[in-house]
Amino acid sequence: MVAVIMTAGLIVWTGRVQAESTGRKAVERVSAVYPLIAKNNRIRGVVKLEVVVRENGSVRSAKALGGSPLLIDSATEAVLKWKFEPASQETTEVIQVQFGD
């Protein structure tokens, strides 16, 4: 089980992954899985994603803007399952997922 702590717009999955959104409020977040190969090799860092969010709050697409190739797939897979608050139009958000302690 992963503990989730909310502080000042930052979601921290204790000891595993933290993520931050820069615009529309995420109302449901799915934790990214820290890939075993990355964890065993002590690969840490930030994956930056550009996320297109539909009017209804579901994620339409996510494109990596940067990060370790060993971490990008896990971060993308998790963020595609996020839900944001509804809005009057589609928006583009920048999400950062931090891997490591």
Residue 66 sits in a domain whose CATH number is 3.30.2420.10
The number of CA neighbours under 13 Å toward the Cβ of 62 is 24
Mean pLDDT, residues 62-81 = 96
Q: Which two three-digit tokens encode residue 48?
A: 């930056």
pLDDT > 90 fraction of the chain, expressed in percent and rounded = 73
Question: Do residues 24 and 87 lie in contact, with contact meaning Cβ atoms separated by under 8 Å?
Answer: yes
Domains in the chain, number: 1
pLDDT in tens, 6-46: 333 333 333 344 555 557 899 999 999 999 999 899 999 99
pLDDT at 88 over 90: yes
What pLDDT, on the 0 to 100 scale, is given for residue 7? 33
Domain that residue 35 falls in: 4-99
The number of CA neighbours under 13 Å toward the Cβ of 4 is 11
Q: Rounded to two decimals, what is the model's pTM?
A: 0.77
Q: DSSP assignment of 8-68, as one string?
A: TTEEEETTTEEEEESSSPEEE--PPP--HHHHHTT--EEEEEEEEE-TTSBEEEEEEEES-
3-class state of residue 78 by DSSP = helix
